[in-house]
């Protein structure tokens, strides 16, 4: 991925190599060209790779979990009313419903598992998502919640609805950024609908 050519000459380093073996703890191989460089080096003196930038680009490829869990049992004011009217019975029903759904959001994808025994799984890659729509129906707004509707440009991919997640609006912004970054990393170009 990076230029391997144009290595600078190292001169007669045959006997110096033995010395560098002894002080090996001070050195490390360059992750790009494999030449031995100082452990504290910020830039490889052989291939000129900016090691900090290389490491951060590599880190971006690693998937990290952003949020994972069940939606809140009660995420709407109407549900609270239902719970009060049924003297708590509705809470049990809502709790089972909430336990049967698991959201998993990572830096690269969104997964939704449905069913108490995790049978159906929907998976959406962040870079395919075109629309991050935040909805605030009255009942949810009163309960301090909102709904995030994720839609991709591809009609065959599922559209996912996330709700009952604390600070979902902040999370939505984070997902938007991750989506753009993933898109750049994968070099996906799209036509933006107006």
**Cβ atoms 65, 39 nearer than 8 A:** no
- Look at strands 160-163 and 65-69 and give their pairing: unpaired
Q: Judged by CB under 5 A, which stretch of 47-55, 71-79, 141-149, 179-187 contacts Zn ion? A: 47-55
Nearer to Zn ion, 46 or 127 (CB): 46
Q: Which of 32, 72, 77, 82 binds Zn ion (CB under 5 A)?
A: 32
Nearer to Zn ion, 44 or 146 (CB): 44
Nearer to Zn ion, 16 or 50 (CB): 50
Q: Determine, following the binding rule CB under 5 A, whether residue 33 of this chain makes contact with Zn ion.
A: yes
Q: Judged by CB under 5 A, which stretch of 6-14, 18-26, 32-40, 61-69 contacts Zn ion? A: 32-40
Nearer to Zn ion, 6 or 192 (CB): 6
Alpha-carbon span 66 to 168, nearest angstrom: 12
Q: Where are the alpha helices (DSSP H) in the chain?
A: 14-22, 51-61, 77-85, 89-99, 138-142, 168-185
Alpha-carbon span 56 to 43, nearest angstrom: 14
b/e map 103-137, b = 16+ CB within 10 Å: bbbbbbbbebbeeeeeeeeeebbbbbbeebeeeee
The total of other beta-carbon atoms located within 10 Å of residue 27's CB is 16
Q: Judged by CB under 5 A, which stretch of 28-36, 105-113, 168-176, 181-189 contacts Zn ion? A: 28-36
Nearest approach, Cβ of 57 to Zn ion (angstroms)? 15
Q: Determine, following the binding rule CB under 5 A, whether residue 93 of this chain makes contact with Zn ion.
A: no
Q: Which residues bind Zn ion (CB under 5 A)?
A: 30, 32-33, 44, 46-47
């Amino acid at each position: 991925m990076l230029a391997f050519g144009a290595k600078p000459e190292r001169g007669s380093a045959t006997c110096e190599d033995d010395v560098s073996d002894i002080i090996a703890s001070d050195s490390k191989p360059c992750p790009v060209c494999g030449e031995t460089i100082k452990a504290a080096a910020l830039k490889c003196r052989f291939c000129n790779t900016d090691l900090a930038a290389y490491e951060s680009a590599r880190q971006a490829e690693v998937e990290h979990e952003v949020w994972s869990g069940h939606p809140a049992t009660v995420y709407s004011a109407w549900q609270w009313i239902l719970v009060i009217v049924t003297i708590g019975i509705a809470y049990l029903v809502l709790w089972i419903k909430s336990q049967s759904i698991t959201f998993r959001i990572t830096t690269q994808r969104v997964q939704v598992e449905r069913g108490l025994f995790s049978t159906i799984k929907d998976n959406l890659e962040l870079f395919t998502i075109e629309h991050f729509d935040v909805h605030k129906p009255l009942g949810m707004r009163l309960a301090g919640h909102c709904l995030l509707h994720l839609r991709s440009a591809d009609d065959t991919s599922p559209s996912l609805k996330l709700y009952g997640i604390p600070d979902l609006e902040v999370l939505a912004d984070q997902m938007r950024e991750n989506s753009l970054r993933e898109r750049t990393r994968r070099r996906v170009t799209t036509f933006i609908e107006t």
